[in-house]
């Protein structure tokens, strides 16, 4: 690890889940009981995913969040514990956050998210971790914890990276603190509307949506476009980055890998434009394997990606 990477620090304030994935022939109707197929319990949550991805990119990462005292907490923290500081993760007398994912034979999925312990990561919880948050080069949040917890993290951050997903009701001033705001094209349209935009169909034109968000006071904006890469705009300028073409196996968690990799690059002192040229490569690597955290490239694989970037 370089001296620059060793000095860089990312703190992720966000969600930690244990995800239950169940295969079903079809979705049950009201009042119907169906036999499930293969079931797996794996670590997840957007915050935890992003923390793991950033750590695999070679910077110091600490997590601020909450889990329960139930057995699934160990599953939720299993991969984070290998490379992410967990001193800011509180265990509470409540269930660990859980996502129940039903996957039908048709390929369709249905997801129920139970916030549980994640719902306790409020402003008081973040204030209790103030020293940890304020010491970070980059603070990352998502939309899976209470809005007042997000606001507290934003106010204490040296630089605030905000992946507003899912789009929840957050004070507009908090959104404008983000540098960058990271959203997909659908989220971009929703955030623009929340900030006062009346321009219709922004989800159909990401370039217009990006400039609209900047015009509404956002400091910098990254719009992720899935397999098409991303676009970025702000004081440094504008860029469009294509993603490499690969055979996708599972896209779950790819967006979180992008955010984590971007946060790591920013913490290392790279510009937003350069970070956005690197992050899609990390995200693309994840879709070639099944699962979310399980698909994230190792530190050695990330270094191979980095060498390829400079080749």
Q: Binding site membership for substrate: which residues?
A: 17-19, 45-49, 144, 256
Cα–Cα distances in Å, from 101 out to 46, 112, 117, 202? 15, 7, 19, 29
Token pair 């990330």 is found at: 302
Residue 231 near residue 239 (C-beta atoms within 8 A): yes
256 is catalytic: yes
Give the Cα separation of 229 and 136 in Å (integer): 28
Structure-token pair, residue 207: 């370039």
Cβ atoms within 10 Å of 210's Cβ, excluding its own: 28
Residue 257 near residue 283 (C-beta atoms within 8 A): yes
Cβ atoms within 10 Å of 216's Cβ, excluding its own: 18
The runs of H, that is alpha helices, within 203-298 are: 206-215, 254-267, 272-286
Measured over the CA atoms of residue 166, residue 97, residue 226 and residue 143, the dihedral's sign is positive
Token pair 């997909």 is found at: 184
3-state secondary structure at position 255: helix
- Residues placed in the known binding site: 17-19, 45-49, 144, 184, 224-229, 250, 252, 255-256, 286, 289, 291, 295
The single residue of 122, 169, 173, 256 carrying the catalytic annotation is: 256
Give the Cα separation of 17 and 38 in Å (integer): 20
- Residues placed in the known binding site for ATP: 184, 224-229, 255-256
Pick the closest to residue 297 from 273, 280, 311, 310 (CA basis).
280
Bridge partners of 30, per DSSP, are: none
Structure-token pair, residue 288: 């070639």
> Nearest 5°: CA angle at 209, between 203 and 213?
135
Structure-token pair, residue 147: 């809005």
Pick the closest to residue 257 from 239, 280, 283, 290 (CA basis).
283
* Residues with catalytic roles: 256
């Amino acid at each position: 690890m370089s001296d620059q990477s060793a000095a860089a620090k990312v703190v992720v304030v966000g969600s930690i889940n244990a995800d239950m994935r169940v295969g079903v022939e079809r979705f049950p109707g009201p009042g119907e009981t169906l036999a499930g197929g293969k079931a797996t319990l794996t670590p997840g949550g957007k915050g935890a995913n992003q923390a793991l991805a950033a750590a695999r990119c070679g910077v110091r990462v600490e997590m601020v969040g909450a889990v329960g005292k139930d057995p699934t907490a160990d599953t939720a923290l299993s991969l984070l514990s290998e490379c992410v500081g967990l001193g800011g993760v509180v265990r509470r007398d409540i269930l660990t956050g859980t996502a129940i994912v039903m996957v039908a034979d048709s390929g369709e999925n249905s997801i129920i998210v139970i916030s549980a312990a994640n719902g306790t990561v409020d402003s008081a919880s973040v204030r209790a971790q103030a020293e940890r948050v304020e010491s970070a080069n980059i603070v990352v949040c998502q939309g899976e914890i209470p809005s007042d917890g997000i606001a507290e993290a934003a106010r204490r951050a040296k630089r605030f990276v905000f992946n507003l997903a899912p789009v929840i009701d957050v004070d507009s001033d908090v959104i404008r603190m983000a540098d960058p705001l990271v959203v997909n094209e659908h989220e971009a349209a929703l955030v623009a509307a929340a900030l006062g935009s009346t321009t219709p169909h922004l989800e159909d034109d990401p370039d217009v949506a990006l400039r609209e968000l900047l015009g509404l006071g956002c400091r910098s904006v990254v719009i992720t476009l899935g397999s098409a890469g991303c676009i970025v705009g702000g004081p440094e300028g504008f860029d469009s980055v294509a993603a490499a073409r690969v055979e996708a196996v599972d896209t779950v968690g790819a967006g979180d890998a992008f955010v984590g990799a971007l946060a790591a690059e920013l913490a290392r002192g790279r510009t937003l434009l350069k970070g956005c040229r690197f992050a899609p490569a990390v995200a693309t690597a994840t879709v070639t394997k099944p699962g979310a955290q399980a698909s994230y490239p190792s530190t050695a694989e990330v270094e191979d990606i980095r060498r390829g970037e400079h080749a």
